[in-house]
Every structure is written in structure tokens, then in C-alpha cells.
Amino acid sequence: MKENYDFSKGKRGAVLPQSGNKVRITVRLDADIIDWFRDRAEEQGGGNYQTMINDALRIFIEHQNEPLEDLLRRVVRDELKAAR
């Protein structure tokens, strides 16, 4: 181990460049929310719970302009299918 190191040309930030359309952020979510997504990912044989959270947020955003009546009909239909 050297006595002194030269960091004069060092750069702050991520060591690896970001790829694609993803942005690294820090977000604080309730533990039960994270547990729910982790459990679903594990039930499906593994996977990335963070991707599942991203997908859930995307679906939520896509349905923001959906009329309430259409949303309710879709939810009731989905619940009836699940109950069978």
C-alpha cells in the first residue's frame, strides 16, 4: 500500500456510465410496499422487484386519462376473473 495516492485527476460520480433510459435515484418507500414487490418477484421464480415497481408505476400513469367508468369496469372484470 502506498503512503500517498494522487486523486488530482479523479472524477466524482458513478464509476460505470448509466445505460439506456434508466435513471439512478434514491427513493424512500414503505417497507410493506417493498416486501410486497419482493414477495411477488420471488413467487414468480425470482426477478427484479425494482422492474416490477417501475412497471406498476407505468401502468398507473398510462391509466390516468382513463375515464372512471372504464377503470371501474376493468377492475371489476379482473376481480371476477381472479375469483373464479
Question: How many Cα neighbours within 13 Å face the side chain of 68?
Answer: 0
How many folded domains does the chain comprise?
1
The pLDDT of residue 15 is above 90: no
Residue 80's closest CA among 69, 55, 72?
72
Position 70 in a domain: yes
The pLDDT of residue 17 is above 80: no
- The domain of 42 spans 31-83
Give the Cα separation of 29 and 13 in Å (integer): 24
Position 5 in a domain: no
Assign 42 a pLDDT band (cuts: 50, 70, 90).
very high
Give the Cα separation of 14 and 17 in Å (integer): 7
